[in-house]
Amino acid sequence: MKKKLVGLGFVVLALAGSFFYSPSCLGKVLLEKNNDLPLTVFNVTFRTGSADDPQALRGLANLTARLVREGGVKALGDLPALSRSELEKVLFPLAADISVSVNKEQTSFSVVATADNGERVFALLRQVLQAPALDPVEFKRIKEETKLSLTQKWPQQDQEELGKAALDRVIYGADHPYSHVVEGTLAGVEAATIDDVKVFAAKMYSRRRLTVGVTGVVGSSLEAAIKNFDDSLPEGESTNASLPAVPQHKNRTLTIVKGEFEGTGVHLGHPIALTRAGEDFPAMFLANNAYGKHRDFIGRLMRIVRQIRSMNYGTYSYIEDFPNGGTYLSPQPQVARSQQAFTVWGRPTTAENGCFLLRLVARETTKLATEGLTEEEFKRVQKYLIGNIPITAAGIEMRLGISIDSEFYGITADYLANLQAKVAELTYDQVNAAIKKYIHPDSFQMVVVTKDPDAFAKEISGDTCDITYKEGIEIPSEILEEDKKIAVYDVGVEAAQIQVVPAASLFQ
């Protein structure tokens, strides 16, 4: 049972009945004592990320986190100063790897330790965060690696994440803090100095933005160390990023990103005024799973695009941000956002079928908004989720990460247990009402990543674009009839609403 104790700005959430309290601190601690495995998991998360990047220094949050982790450490108490390589040599025999994750509004430093090494590893984690050496040589290396990523990886090597980055930019607008990738822009990274990193770390790695999560084997001495973790951190001035209102899109648009890729990927979406803390989230959670659950055939999109037509590896929809979807099978923690979007991601198909795929996705998503789920879809997915939700948090690292995200959203109940109960109570009419409330076809912002933008623009503006099936595949007659309707579907954009951008321009 989760317990909550509130003092002078300091909150301790105990997931297994053990907690401590210190009124002198401003941070938050989530502590679960669990002896099921001989492990201790640490997750130190600051509520800061690329949304806090200064306009002229986009990428500073990522540079800061990497340099704190990779720039060596100064002496702290009895712990000696260590270079980057020396720190790795200390961590290696402890079987510990301190990883860092930077996203829009969260930056996390996490590590798993054996129970015997828990105190030693936590001391090293504390040294990394409270006494970073910020080695200028490492800073130069990190900058060069980041610039290489922005000039090669993003625009040339990862078509899928490129498309999602372009969609974020279109949905939120070029000046919104979400509009650039976490690694920033080439100009922002080039302009950043080590002094900028020091200022950012002092301002953002503060007690007001801190959540310390610990689960597993926790003895009394380790608990005392956790209690005093933030003693040397600055208090800080703010608790979260300052975000402008999201744009209200009244018309559909199409942005075609020119990239040297053989296939064509499609994306669409618009902002939604809903997070997992919202009353309607369970209904939209069910609707989204039924329509486009990530990499799962329970979703309608996977069946009609991949299973029936074999057009691509998968097509999915989301009501929460899901970065690196090509890598992960399930949502990862510490990617929380204060502002979310409803999005659809159609993984690359052949260039000749790209136009058809966009028409299919836009038409089907419009049908979802206007007609909702079928009753069969609702019942089947509701039953599936009641059994599936509890195993979402398989593993103590995932459970801890979800608890930290709950703190981000202000959720005090057990998130997964509450979601499971709410989903079980939903009615068919409630889910379809939520779909109509939150999905607005007239606002679809569409993005296509393809090699020949002019050819795509001409085709999508034409009267029809047919699907080409591989020779030898037998397609049922009813599917072929449906294909004829899809082929002539009007995606709803005029020539003036079609923009072509080079892939590299998104990261300049």
pLDDT in tens, 114-169: 999 999 999 999 999 999 999 999 999 999 999 999 999 999 999 999 999 999 99
Domains and CATH numbers, the chain: 3-227 (3.30.830.10), 253-507 (3.30.830.10)
pLDDT in tens, 455-492: 999 999 999 999 999 988 889 999 999 999 999 999 99
Q: Which two tokens stand for residue 197?
A: 């990193």
Question: At how many degrees (to 10) do helices 194-204 and 60-70 cross?
Answer: 90
Helices 375-388, 428-438: inter-axial angle, 10-degree rounding: 100
The Cα 59–Cα 187 span in angstroms is 9
**Percent above pLDDT 90 for the chain:** 91
Give the dihedral of Cα atoms 181, 187, 191, 196; nearest 10 deg.
-20
Q: For the segment 1-22, what is each residue's pLDDT rounded down to a tens digit? A: 333 333 223 344 444 333 333 3
Mean pLDDT score, 375-395: 95
What's CA 375's distance to the chain center, in Å?
31
Q: How confident is the model at residue 26 (pLDDT cuts 50, 70, 90)?
A: low
Residue type, 376: E
Which range, of 14-23, 35-44, 177-186, 489-498, averages the lowest pLDDT? 14-23
Question: Per-residue pLDDT averaged across 354-378, rounded?
Answer: 98
Q: How confident is the model at residue 230 (pLDDT cuts 50, 70, 90)?
A: confident
- Measured CA to CA, the distance from residue 332 to residue 124 in angstroms comes to 25
Q: What type of residue is 109?
A: F
For residue 495, pLDDT over 70 is answered with: yes
DSSP 304-339: IIIITT--SS-EEEESS--TTTTT-SSPPSS---SS
Nearest to 333 by CA among 248, 240, 247, 395: 395
To the nearest 10°, the Cα dihedral for 347, 350, 355, 356?
-80
| Interval 227-254 mean pLDDT | 93
Q: For 386-400, give the DSSP string.
A: HHHGGGGG-SHHHHH
pLDDT range class, residue 108, cuts 50, 70, 90: very high
User: How much is the mean pLDDT over the chain?
Assistant: 94
* pLDDT surpasses 90 at 187: yes
Q: Express each pLDDT in 52-69 by its tens digit.
A: 999 999 999 999 999 999
Q: Output the DSSP codes for 37-91.
A: SSEEEEEEEES-SGGG--GGGTTHHHHHHHHHHHS-B--BTTBPPB-HHHHHHHH
DSSP structure string for 233-291:
S---S-SS---PPPP---S-EEEEEE-S-SEEEEEEEEEES--TTSTTHHHHHHHHHHH
Share of the chain above pLDDT 70, in %: 95
Predicted local confidence at residue 2, as pLDDT? 39
Q: Residue 27 has what pLDDT?
A: 84
**Cα distances (Å, whole numbers) of residue 30 to 98, 108, 238, 270, 389:** 19, 14, 21, 34, 22
- Which tens digits make up the pLDDT trace of 301-348? 999 999 999 999 999 999 999 999 999 999 999 999 999 999 999 999
Secondary structure letter of residue 81 according to DSSP: P
- Predicted confidence at residue 31, as pLDDT, reads 94
**Looking at residues 186-191, what average pLDDT do you find?**
98
3-class SS at 449?
strand
Q: What is the pLDDT of residue 16?
A: 36
In this prediction, residue 394 carries a pLDDT of 85
